[in-house]
């Protein structure tokens, strides 16, 4: 059985927060605002994996109303999602993702993000693709008000 999953996340930028994407802290004057570390890439990957396995979404398992998840690293959530995928009998074939941000420049950090996500999920970095795109000044992302990410995955149950 092969299953495809899609994930999306968007968070506003805010002063006084670290910018964390794919589990990597990126030098920036602003970070993403949210209950956890607001790592939009990792959240999108989590939702893609959960969706492909036919499970509930990220918020159902780790609600923003639960103080246990306040400022938690999204890698902790991803690691748990990975266990849920395995428990459901699936393994990850690949993940493909895109981060949409007009700044900062993300290209120098993409390989590190891929390595961190792969290590967290116990898969080969070659199974993960991460791209960075700009909104070219359009909309909230183009006005540098937030950052978004999308992810798709392919799971297989032997």
What CATH number does the domain containing 126 carry? 3.30.1330.50
Quickly state the pLDDT bin for 108 (edges 50, 70, 90).
very high
What percent of the chain lies above the pLDDT cut of 70?
100
* Average pLDDT of the residues of the chain: 97
Spatial distance between the Cα atoms of 88 and 155, rounded to a whole number of angstroms: 11
Give the count of domains, the chain: 1
Give the residue numbers spanning the domain of 27.
2-156
- Count of CA atoms in the C-beta half-sphere (13 A) of 31: 19
């Amino acid at each position: 059985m092969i299953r495809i999953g899609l994930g999306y996340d968007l968070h506003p930028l805010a002063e006084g927060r670290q910018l964390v994407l794919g589990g990597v802290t990126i030098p920036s004057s602003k970070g993403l605002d949210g209950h956890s570390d607001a790592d939009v890439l990792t959240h999108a990957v989590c939702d893609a994996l959960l969706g492909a396995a036919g499970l509930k979404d990220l918020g159902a398992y780790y609600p923003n109303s639960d103080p246990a998840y306040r400022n938690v690293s999204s890698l902790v959530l991803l690691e748990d999602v990975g266990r849920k995928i395995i428990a459901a009998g699936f393994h990850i074939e690949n993940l493909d993702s895109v981060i949409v941000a007009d700044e900062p420049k993300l290209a120098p950090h993409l390989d590190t993000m891929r390595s961190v996500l792969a290590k967290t999920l116990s898969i080969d970095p070659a199974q993960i693709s991460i791209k960075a795109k700009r909104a070219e000044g359009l909309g909230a992302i183009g006005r540098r008000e937030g950052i978004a990410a999308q992810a798709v995955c392919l799971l297989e149950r032997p």
